[in-house]
């Protein structure tokens, strides 16, 4: 298929480019590099032996999106482009609503004007809000809510796309709800490269291990979980990338708008992830236990059975592989894509 990948230079997008090339697809990346580096696409080319076509631009730039969709015929769009930092969304709500919601509205409008109605959208487990433990593992029909402007953008965009697909049966939309993507390509050439101090657990751990940060703080060990630390459904980014390839294979045969969890179905605690990482690096991490982080759910993991049923996809890589690959990336690239 000829695939347009918005945000294709980002963490999940770059890994998806490699997986999509391996499956024989053609790729055009559309990215404004607001949270990524062109170097990520160089690494894609090194791994895949093929370079995605790059069009630099913003999804909110209607003229540019129009010209892009007029320039060639795409079979599907994988839409990663957007801002994703929960804390920043609380301090900059307008920027999040504008970039994620307004930008996606422009993209959707230009897609329908171009007669392109196969859409694979990056949603998030954040749409389940702070899940009621009785709803675990989370199925796609669990109650939805937003806890912050970032989550609100995902929830609104899901609702907008559901309504558009209900009004026009030509749409084929997959809302992929990612759980916690971690890890890196096994070559160590591509991985997560957050700007500033990481908010998320795995990049924080790898930056402590490489000496960029002094110590990991575990946010709370008094949760009602077996070891007292929070439980999440971590998913290796290469499994996630393969989930997008499976979605490409199926999107044209799934009419309407369908939400699909992309998770492993296994809950892993913060303490277990840290232990697995310490095993991968062969030494203990400097760490301490601190207070709970406001807003954190005690536990959140997926029921991934719909992904297997509809997409024929499930995760293949375990927690040890996630830690090993995350560490290979960080140790080979202590400063991420930036030069030392
Ligand atoms: P990322 O920031 O690494 O990638 C996003 C890419 O989109 C970047 O390359 C950025 O430059 C680009 N971009 C942002 N706004 C743009 C715009 N207006 N026009 C063009 N390009 C733009 O993030 P990621 O981790 O790869 O996440 C990809 C998607 O998956 C996002 O929509 C995110 O909300 C969603 N998601 C991520 C996670 C996660 O933990 N990483 C979890 C759930 C959902
Ligand atoms: N944690 C620590 N120390 C840290 C960072 C995180 O103990 O320095 C803990 C958190 O308290 C939480 C767990 O590690 O218990 C995971 O935290 P992350 O920030 O890595 O991930 P979250 O589950 O909080 O959130 C992530 C994304 C959200 C997304 C959500 C569901 O950041 O955008 O997964 O997909 F909505």
pLDDT in tens, 97-114: 999 999 999 999 999 999
Which residue, judged by its Cα, is nearest atom 21 of ligand 1?
31
pLDDT tens-place values along the chain, 340 residues long: 999 999 999 999 999 999 999 999 999 999 999 999 999 999 999 999 999 999 999 999 999 999 999 999 999 999 999 999 999 999 999 999 999 999 999 999 999 999 999 999 999 999 999 999 999 999 999 999 999 999 999 999 999 999 999 999 999 999 999 999 999 999 999 999 999 999 999 999 999 999 999 999 999 999 999 999 999 999 999 999 999 999 999 999 999 999 999 999 999 999 999 999 999 999 999 999 999 998 899 999 999 999 999 999 999 999 999 999 999 999 999 999 986 5
Task: Look at residue 338 in the predicted model and tell me its pLDDT.
Answer: 86
pLDDT for position 340: 53
Q: How far apart are CA 219 and CA 223, in angstroms?
A: 10
Alpha helices in 49-84 (DSSP H): 62-71
Dist. CA 175–CA 121, nearest whole Å: 5
Q: CA triplet 60, 64, 66: central angle to 5 degrees?
A: 95
Q: Are 217 and 289 in contact (CB under 8 A)?
A: yes
Determine the pLDDT at residue 304.
98
CB within 8 Å of 236: residues ≥ 6 apart: 181, 182, 183, 315, 316, 317, 321, 322, 325
List, for residues 49-62, the tens digit of each pLDDT value. 999 999 999 999 99
Could you confirm whether 150 is annotated as catalytic?
yes
Query: Sign (positive/negative) of CA torsion 252, 256, 257, 262?
Result: negative
This prediction's pTM:
0.98
Q: What is the pLDDT of residue 10?
A: 98
Residues in CB range of 218: below 8 A, 6 or more apart: 229, 270, 271, 274, 287, 288, 289, 290
Ligand 2 mean position, distance from CA 29 (Å): 28
Q: Is 82 in the pocket of ligand 1 (CB under 6 A)?
A: yes
**Is the Cβ atom of 8 under 6 angstroms away from ligand 1?**
no
Q: How far is the CA of 133 from the centre of ligand 1 (A)?
A: 29
Find all residues with CB under 8 Å of 266, minimum gap 6, and list them.
233, 301, 319
- Which of 6, 36, 80, 83 has most ligand 1 atoms within 8 Å of its beta carbon, as the pocket-test mutant? 80
Separation CA 238–CA 190 (nearest Å)? 11
Tell me if residue 76 falls in helix, strand or coil. strand
Could you tell me the CA-to-CA distances from 54 to 27, 63, 338 in Å, in that order? Answer: 9, 17, 20
CA of 279 to the centre of ligand 1 (A): 30
Please identify which of the residues 128, 150, 178, 234 carries the catalytic annotation: 150
Nearest atom of ligand 1 to the alpha carbon of 60 = 18
**Whole-angstrom Cα distance, residue 38 to residue 138?**
36
């Amino acid at each position: 298929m000829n695939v347009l990948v918005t945000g294709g230079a980002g963490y999940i997008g770059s890994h998806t480019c490699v997986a999509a090339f391996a499956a024989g697809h053609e790729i055009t990346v559309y990215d404004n590099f607001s949270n990524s580096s062109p170097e990520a696409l160089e690494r894609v080319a090194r791994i895949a032996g093929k370079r995605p076509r790059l069009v630099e631009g913003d999804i909110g730039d209607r003229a540019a999106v129009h010209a892009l969709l007029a320039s060639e015929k795409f079979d599907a769009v994988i839409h990663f482009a957007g801002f994703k930092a929960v804390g920043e969304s609380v301090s900059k709500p307008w920027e999040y609503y504008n970039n994620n919601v307004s930008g996606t509205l422009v993209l959707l409008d230009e897609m329908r004007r171009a007669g392109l109605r196969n859409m694979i959208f990056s949603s998030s487990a954040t749409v389940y809000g702070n899940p009621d433990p009785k709803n675990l593992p989370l199925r796609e029909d669990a109650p939805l809510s937003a806890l912050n402007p970032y989550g609100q953008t995902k929830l609104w965009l899901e609702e907008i796309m559901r309504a558009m697909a209900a009004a026009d049966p030509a749409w084929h939309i997959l809302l992929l709800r990612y759980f916690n993507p971690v890890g890196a390509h096994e070559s160590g050439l591509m991985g997560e490269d957050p700007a500033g101090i990481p908010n998320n657990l795995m990049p924080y751990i790898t930056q402590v291990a490489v000496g960029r940060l002094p110590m990991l703080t575990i946010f709370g060990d008094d949760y009602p979980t077996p070891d007292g630390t929070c439980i999440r459904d971590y998913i290796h980014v290469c499994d996630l990338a393969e989930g997008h390839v499976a979605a490409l294979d199926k999107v044209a045969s799934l009419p309407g708008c369908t939400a699909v969890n992309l998770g492993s179905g296994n809950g892993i605690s913060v303490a277990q992830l840290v232990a697995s990482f310490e095993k991968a690096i062969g030494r203990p991490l400097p760490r301490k236990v601190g207070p709970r982080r406001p807003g954190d759910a005690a536990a959140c993991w997926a029921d991934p059975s719909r992904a297997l049923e509809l997409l024929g996809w499930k995760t293949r890589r375990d927690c040890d592989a996630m830690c090993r690959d995350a560490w290979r990336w960080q140790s080979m690239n202590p400063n991420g894509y930036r030069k030392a």
